[in-house]
Structure formats: structure tokens, C-alpha cells
Amino acid sequence: MNQNLNSSLTSLRNRRAFLSSRKIGNIAMTRFVFLCGAILFCPLALFADSEPTGEVVIEQPSRIELEPGEINLVGARAVQQLVTTGFYSGEETRDLTGEVEYVSVHPAIAKVDGSRLIPVGNGETTVTAKVAGQESAVKVTVTNVEVLTPVSFKHDVLASLTKADCNSGACHGSPSGKGGFRLSLRGYDPPFDMVTLRTEYFGRRTNIVAPDESLLIKKPLMQVAHGGGRRLRKEDPMHLALVNWIGEGMKLDSEEAPSLVKIDVYPKKRILWEKSPRQQLYVMGEFSDGSIKDLTDLTVFSSSNERVAFASPEGLVEKSNRGETTILARYLDKMSTCEISFLEDVDGFAWANPQENNFIDTLAFAKMQQLQILPSELCSDEEFLRRAYLDVTGRLPRVEEATVFLNDSSADKRAHLIDQLLETPEYAQFWSLKWSDVLRASSKKFNEVGTHKFHEWIKNVVYSDVPLNQVAYELLTASGSAYENPAANYWRASREPDEATEVTAQLFLGIRIQCAKCHNHPFERWTQDNYYGLAATFARIGRKPVSDANEEVIFMKNDGEVTQPRTGETMKVHLLLKGDVEVPADTDRRVVFADWLTAADNPFFAKATVNRIWGHLMGRGIVDPVDDFRDSNPPSNAPLLAELTQQFVNNDFSMKWAIRTIMNSRLYQLSSEKNDFNSEDEIYHSHASTRLMTAEQLLDAICDVTGVREKFAGVPIGTRTVELAEPPADHYFLKVFGQPQREMACECERSSDSNLSQALQMINGPVIQDKLKVETGRLQTAIKAGKDDVTIINEIYLAAVSRQPEEVELNAALEHIKSSAERTQALEDVAWAVLNSKEFLFQH
């Protein structure tokens, strides 16, 4: 961080030369900001460059295991994917699926094709996997092989169209379809798809007499022109399912046909080293009649981190780089995941056994040790001081505060500082700003009076450390005057059931459920029924004005229902993962929902809330984005998130407990300076996250360093930016640096993107330039008081970066002042250089 300061100060020769250096230095600064923004959003990989997958090394396993452990093949079209695992010393496993020899004792009953088992005749047999002198066998039972089970429209045809990506949002699953051919997105509406495929355009898309001549077959095979390119290959499972369905008369599924209940992908978890760079998966589906069937062929596989591994259509996961990935298996609207880690021995790596301050360190360091990532050293006292003040209070430490802390030699001074900061009004002001942002506290939503009352209410509950589940309960069940009960303003911002559903799910469940409004979520388990069942919770919220036309009263209505638009069904109140619930007519549906949401065993609220707090302090959530929990966006450290959640619940949902616990961990206190073993890590917190200060923090920091407060309309002089009840209507500096306007309940509304306007504001904008010249400001007051150059420079450094200047920095500044015709202007140059340094602009 100091390098930017050194280079800027060394160039202080004269005013003209210095102005030139401003432009050069800040081009570098702008590039740095841009690169930091890119790093924060890079995929979950440890290395940027992909390398080709190596070959599996068999060697001599201690034993092998063939899966599934018992196989039942029912009907001529049944199939079973086999997976063989080798076990080696030290609990190492290798996927040997493609390396072993498979032998069926009775090939006339079941035969092996590659690593897939196919029925031939009824009876029982044994299939054995053999390699390197080791064997593993499974019993196989084949029944009803003489029965050609009809192709299921829902479970085979729609699954085939989904796997071929024909019904994706970019293809025929878009709202308007493609080329006059429209399917429901990911097969969420089977009746609609049946009409489209069987009868639309007089059945021209299909040919029962000659199925291979159907446009539905020829186009994805590219036998005729197809804008979507090749989607099928002859004799692949998707092709066969579609051809056979057409040839069998395009029949509907019978009412008695079993429905798919769930799927499971296996193996559930694998840790693989260099000698095993791939893993075969298989998927089993459980149906309503109790039957189990291999669904691997028509399952869609995707990797959460393709820079670590790719998943082939056949379910073969192949390594690209060292790291972790979660594989999402999707079969229609059913999903299952497995976790795969590809590890390597890193040359020169040796675990340093860093001190563990609490359970956070224990679980975080265990993950790092496994991945051979070495955490950075502890940050300096100067870095910790600045980091703690910015994270807890949103402001820089004052010169006298920095002096006291840096001169304190006690061993527990960091913990003491954390406790001290959490009891300040500034803590409540800053963290109420964070909650006000996502709760959309603004005059556009509440009106001015409501906004101020709501902001004060939030500030009080934060300062008093009201349990966050209680805060959520009060918000969700609030009734009465929005002025007398400020929590009721929550329902002034969310005025329709749909809006209330989406905002509440994102805020308190950590789920972005918006996609399920129009169709089943394509990459998550949530369906339209889930969405509109949640919406039913908020269908009876009434609002009426009182004597003051700008005031509203929130109350429970006696009527109001939500209808599922696709089925026309009147929805019951639905609780995710629990199901529909009956709510008596005289009971507020919101109370039923809030009781469920804020219970200690709720699977969403505590996890989403503590992850949000973690993200604010650490610069990145364990699940990131912090409000986007889904199977395809796994946590970077699931055991850590689970334990943090449980202890958050055990400590009465206390935000102060969460902040204190995280900040007291060694993990939080690591330096931002990387080492050779963590330079590529951006997800496991092996070093502190370097991030640009927020708009409010930055403006307040400039005011603190210059000693000149910003003036805002309608509030007393001296009011800090983080104290404002809502964003100023038209403040260019804050807007340029990404202050949200509180239109959305998403953390993403606060822009973290860097741009040229930010650099120009810092280089020549009025905020810095004007404040440095104010007669009553820090710099001009020090000059008029007759302070010497060294004293003034030291004070600027302490105010801006919480440390004394290094000798090279001090000498560069003094040399510039000495060579300048005007001392005042030269000191302004020094202050400007410090304010434009990366060390000042960034939290680190």
C-alpha cells in the first residue's frame, strides 16, 4: 500500500511537475480499482490458467468398490451407470470407473457396455469390477425385460428437450419462442408442451409413420437448417427417447403413471488428488410408487466453478485446476448436488500452524491446510486500527484515538477496541445505514417523515442489540400507524403480494425467488407453486390513510387471495421446505410466516443473516453474493457457515455477538499482503480483502482528514454522511462512488464498479480541492498556528492512514515543500497525494 504514496511523493518537485504526476499516478490508481473489482467477482478457482486433464494412475489400491451396491433393472429400456472407486493409503480415493475391467457372470441376463449396465434377459447375475488384482462385485436383478416400457412424455421427452437445451431461455423456451416454435422453459408446463408438439401447425413437427422424418428430430440433428445448431446425435439417449415417443404414437402419460419424487447424485462428496483427475457420477431417481431408476443419461450436469472442473453431459467431471466445485445435477424440476475437491501437493508448502483465536480460525484454517493455501501474517496495529474503525463505525480513527491505540502495549488491546467501538453511537449509525439500504428506507417509498422515523427505529434496535430474529418478526408483523409504529413502514415499501414475496425472500431467506414468478426456477428447486404460496402470506395486508394524508395505517384485511396463474388454483400459505399450512380466517397470515421464519430451527433466516454480516466485515460472503443462496452457488466453507449459524442462534441472534466474534478471529485480522501460497485465493479469506471504501465512508474520510464537514440540506452542520436518514437527492460525488438509491432490496444496488468519473473526482474534483483550501480546515489551521512541516505531515498521515509516514515518504514530502515557491500550496500537494493514495482509498 505504501508504494503508491512513495511514488507520488517522490515526484513532488514543483507545482507543474506535481500536477503532471497526479494524472500519471491516478491512471495507475484507476487501473488498480478496476482490477480489484474484477478480482472480487472472479470464479471460485485457485489458478487462472487451465491445464489439460491428466490420466488416472491406477497403481495398487488396497481395495476397490463398485457402485451402486445393488442393482435392479426393470424393463428393456433400463440402464445403470457403474462407478468404481479405488482406495489407497491415507484415505486417498481415485475414480477407476474407466480403468477397470467389468465382467458379467451371465451376459445373457445383463451385459456391460463401457461402464453402463444393460439388461438382456430376466434373472439374477453378478457384475464384477477387476483391476490390479482387486475385485468388487454387485448383485444384479433383471425383471420384465420382455416389457418395452412406454416412453414417458414428462420424464423422458421433456427431460430430453431440457438436456438438449431446446427449451432454454435462449432458445425455444423464451417467452416468444424461436422460429414460431415455443416450449415452456425447462419443461415447467407439460400440458402446454404437449399441445405444441402434438397438434400445433397440424402436427407438422412430428411424423408418427416415419419418426426419423419428423422436424423435431431432423432439425436438432442438423439434417435440415436449424438456427440452434446441432443438439442431438443419432442413437444418443435424447435422440432415442424422442424418436421412440413419436413412433409409439406420442402418447400422454397415464394418470396412474408414477411421478418423480426426488433425485440423488452419487458420490455425494469426493476429495481427489493429482493421480485422479476425473470423477464419474451417476443419478438415481425415486418415484412415487417406490421404484428407483438410473436417470444419469437424461440428467443435466453443471459445475459451479468451471475453472476447477467441467462436467460432461454423461456426468464425467474432469479437472481443470486445483480447487473445489459443486456439481449440480438437474432432472426436470428436481435437483441434487455433490462436492468435489481436486487437490495437489504444492512445492514448498508447509503449514505454519497459525494461532487460532476461536472456532472461525479452526474451521477456516482446516480448509486452507487441506487446499494448501498459507494464510498471510497478522496485520499491523495501524492496519487493524483503521480496518476496525471503518468496519464498525464507518469512519477513520481520529488522530488522538490512533495515538492512544498505537501507544498501548497491552496484549488484549484489539479485543478491547472492538468492544469499545460496538458501544458507540457511531456503530449504530453506520450499521443502520447498511440495513436502511436493503430495507429501502427512502422518501420515495415511505415519505420523508416515515423515512426519518424508520431510520431512528433501526438505529435504536442496532444500538440496543435487539435480537435480529425479533427485528425481523416486528417488521413482518407490524400493524398500525407507520408513524407511531415505524416498523410498519416495511409494508409501505412492499405494497403488492408479489413485491413483498420477492423482497422478503431476498432479505430474510437469502433467496432470489423472482424467476419462479413466471416459471419454475431453472437453476433452483423453487417452483411457481412455492412463489405464489409465499405470496399468499401477504395477500391480506391493508393500507389506509389517516388524518395526515401522508400517514398510513397497516392492518389485516378479512379477504384477499393469490391465484397461481398457470393452474388457476387459489394458493394456501406456503412455508419453504415445510409445505402448505392452514391458517384460520381470524389469524394474521404474516404471524404464521414470521413464527416459522424466526424460529431457531428455521433453515434459512439465521444462515442468511449471519452470512450477510460476514460479507460486510470480510468483503465477501461465505455464500457470495450474500443474498443469493442456491444449490448452484455453494458456500466456500460449508462447515464454517454451519457452525457460525448455530452459534449465532445460540447467542440469541445478536448482531454484536456476530461482529465481535468475527473481528476477534485471526482470520479477520490477517494482513492484506499476500504470500506465494495464497496470491491467487479470493474466496477462502487467507488474506484480508482489499476494497474501495463505500461512497459514504470515502466522503466522511475526506472530511475527517481535511477537517471540513460536508453540508447537506435539511440537516445540522456537521452531520456525517453515514448519519443521513436517506441518500441525498443529488450529490454527484456520492452517486459517482456508487451510493444506492434504495430502489431494490439487493446488496447489488450499491455499485462496486470503478470508473473514470471516480478518478477525475479524486484528481481534480471540487470535494478535495475546495476542502484543502478552507481557512478553518485542518491544513490551513495548522499552517496559521505555526506548526512545522514535519508536524503537519505527521498529522495528515495519522488522520488519513492511521500511521506515521515512513522516512522515505517524509523526506519526499519535505523535499517537495523545500523546492516549491509557495509552502501552503506545497503542503496542499502533500495532502492531496495522501488522499489519492491507494492506502487511503481502500479498506485493507
- Per the structure, the complete domain to which residue 648 belongs is given by 381-423+604-664
β 480-481/552-556 pair status: antiparallel
Strand order across the beta sheet in which 541-545 lies:
480-481, 552-556, 541-545
Q: Cα(201)–Cα(198) distance, rounded to whole angstroms?
A: 9
Average pLDDT rounded to a whole number, residues 242-248: 93
> 204-218, 407-421, 481-495: lowest mean pLDDT where?
204-218
In this predicted structure, what is the pLDDT of residue 57?
Answer: 94
Give the tens place of pLDDT for each residue, 278-307: 999 999 999 999 999 999 999 999 999 999
Q: Specify if 310 maps to a domain.
A: no
Q: Which residue's entry shows cell 441434487? A: 336
Confidence category of residue 198, pLDDT binned at 50, 70, 90: confident
Q: Specify if 269 maps to a domain.
A: no
Torsion angle (degrees, nearest 10) of CA 715, 717, 722, 724: 0
End position of a domain, from candidates 148, 174, 207: 148
**Which CATH number do you get for residue 90?**
2.60.40.10
User: Nearest Cα to 797, choosing from 762, 768, 839, 763?
Assistant: 839
Amino acid symbol at 221: L
Q: Are residues 705 and 808 in the same domain?
A: yes
Contacts (Cβ under 8 Å, ≥6 apart) of 733: 695, 699, 761, 765, 767
Per the prediction, the chain carries an average pLDDT of: 90
The CA-atom distances, in angstroms, between 340 and each of 63, 326, 632, 641 are: 21, 6, 13, 18
In this predicted structure, what is the pLDDT of residue 203?
Answer: 65
Give the tens place of pLDDT for each residue, 342-371: 999 999 999 999 999 999 999 999 999 999
β 316-319/278-280 pair status: antiparallel
Q: Specify if 363 maps to a domain.
A: no
- Contacts made by residues 469-472, CB under 8 angstroms, sequence distance 24+: 469/597, 469/598, 469/605, 469/606, 469/653, 470/598, 470/653, 472/508, 472/594, 472/597, 472/598, 472/605
Could you tell me which residue, 338 or 33, shows the higher pLDDT?
A: 338
Q: Are residues 450 and 591 in the same domain?
A: yes
Confidence category of residue 518, pLDDT binned at 50, 70, 90: confident
Instruction: Count other C-beta atoms under 10 Å from residue 115's C-beta.
Output: 20
Q: Are residues 577 and 612 in the same domain?
A: no
Give the 3-state secondary structure of residue 719: coil
* CA Rg value for the chain: 31
Give the tens place of pLDDT for each residue, 798-842: 999 999 999 999 999 999 999 999 999 999 999 999 999 999 999
Q: Are residues 465 and 590 in the same domain?
A: yes
In this predicted structure, what is the pLDDT of residue 313?
Answer: 95
Instruction: Count other C-beta atoms under 10 Å from residue 643's C-beta.
Output: 15
Q: Are residues 536 and 585 in the same domain?
A: yes
Question: Is the pLDDT confidence value at 20 over 80?
Answer: no
Give the 3-state secondary structure of residue 684: coil
Average pLDDT rounded to a whole number, residues 147-168: 91
User: Nearest Cα to 130, choosing from 41, 185, 65?
Assistant: 65
Average pLDDT rounded to a whole number, residues 779-806: 95
Q: Are residues 494 and 458 in the same domain?
A: yes
Contact assessment for residue 691 and residue 842, using Cβ atoms and an 8 Å cutoff: yes
Contacts (Cβ under 8 Å, ≥6 apart) of 491: 478, 500, 541, 543, 554
In terms of Cβ atoms closer than 10 Å to its own Cβ (0-12, 13-18, 19+), residue 117 is buried
Q: Specify if 678 maps to a domain.
A: no
User: Nearest Cα to 738, choosing from 792, 787, 699, 782?
Assistant: 699
Give the tens place of pLDDT for each residue, 667-705: 999 999 999 999 999 999 999 999 999 999 999 999 999
Q: Are residues 456 and 511 in the same domain?
A: yes
Confidence category of residue 45, pLDDT binned at 50, 70, 90: very low
The CA-atom distances, in angstroms, between 485 and each of 328, 434, 446, 503 are: 45, 21, 13, 20
Q: Chain-centre distance of CA 297, in angstroms?
A: 30
807-819 vs 789-801: helix crossing angle, rounded to 10: 130
In this predicted structure, what is the pLDDT of residue 345?
Answer: 93
User: Nearest Cα to 56, choosing from 96, 86, 108?
Assistant: 96
Q: Are residues 20 and 80 in the same domain?
A: no
Contact assessment for residue 387 and residue 843, using Cβ atoms and an 8 Å cutoff: yes
Amino acid symbol at 361: D
Question: Is the pLDDT confidence value at 522 over 80?
Answer: no
Q: Tally DSSP H helices, then E strands, for the chain.
A: 30, 27
Q: Are residues 121 and 190 in the same domain?
A: no
Could you tell me which residue, 6 or 776, shows the higher pLDDT?
A: 776
In this predicted structure, what is the pLDDT of residue 41?
Answer: 25
In this predicted structure, what is the pLDDT of residue 395?
Answer: 97
In this predicted structure, what is the pLDDT of residue 50?
Answer: 41
Question: Is the pLDDT confidence value at 22 over 70?
Answer: no
Q: Cα(155)–Cα(260) distance, rounded to whole angstroms?
A: 8
Per cent of the chain over pLDDT 70 is: 93
In this predicted structure, what is the pLDDT of residue 13?
Answer: 34
Contact assessment for residue 840 and residue 801, using Cβ atoms and an 8 Å cutoff: yes
Contact assessment for residue 567 and residue 188, using Cβ atoms and an 8 Å cutoff: no
Q: Chain-centre distance of CA 747, in angstroms?
A: 11
Q: Cα(123)–Cα(129) distance, rounded to whole angstroms?
A: 20
In terms of Cβ atoms closer than 10 Å to its own Cβ (0-12, 13-18, 19+), residue 252 is middle
- Which phi and psi angles does 702 have, rounded to 5°? -60, -40
The grid cell for 636 is 466456500
Average pLDDT rounded to a whole number, residues 10-26: 34
Q: Are residues 169 and 132 in the same domain?
A: no
Question: Is the pLDDT confidence value at 506 over 70?
Answer: yes
Question: Is the pLDDT confidence value at 128 over 90?
Answer: yes
End position of a domain, from candidates 148, 167, 198: 148
The grid cell for 152 is 414417458
Per cent of the chain over pLDDT 90 is: 79
In terms of residues, how long is the chain?
844
Question: Is the pLDDT confidence value at 227 over 90?
Answer: no
In this predicted structure, what is the pLDDT of residue 122?
Answer: 97
Amino acid symbol at 753: D
Provide the number of structural domains found in the chain: 5
Average pLDDT rounded to a whole number, residues 70-88: 96
Give the tens place of pLDDT for each residue, 600-651: 999 999 999 999 999 999 999 999 999 999 988 999 999 999 999 999 999 9
In this predicted structure, what is the pLDDT of residue 421?
Answer: 98
Q: Are residues 109 and 179 in the same domain?
A: no
Q: Specify if 265 maps to a domain.
A: no
End position of a domain, from candidates 199, 230, 247: 247
> 485-494, 501-510, 564-573, 753-762: lowest mean pLDDT where?
753-762
In this predicted structure, what is the pLDDT of residue 53?
Answer: 58
In this predicted structure, what is the pLDDT of residue 206?
Answer: 87
Q: Specify if 296 maps to a domain.
A: no
Q: Specify if 284 maps to a domain.
A: no
HSE-CB of 71 using CA atoms within 13 angstroms: 32
HSE-CB of 608 using CA atoms within 13 angstroms: 24
In this predicted structure, what is the pLDDT of residue 99?
Answer: 95
Question: Is the pLDDT confidence value at 472 over 90?
Answer: yes
Question: Is the pLDDT confidence value at 585 over 60?
Answer: yes
- Which phi and psi angles does 42 have, rounded to 5°? -70, 155
Instruction: Count other C-beta atoms under 10 Å from residue 309's C-beta.
Output: 27
> 129-143, 166-180, 450-464, 819-833: lowest mean pLDDT where?
166-180
In this predicted structure, what is the pLDDT of residue 151?
Answer: 94
The grid cell for 394 is 464507518
Confidence category of residue 1, pLDDT binned at 50, 70, 90: low
Contacts (Cβ under 8 Å, ≥6 apart) of 74: 143, 144, 149, 291, 293
Q: Are residues 144 and 160 in the same domain?
A: no
Q: Specify if 528 maps to a domain.
A: yes
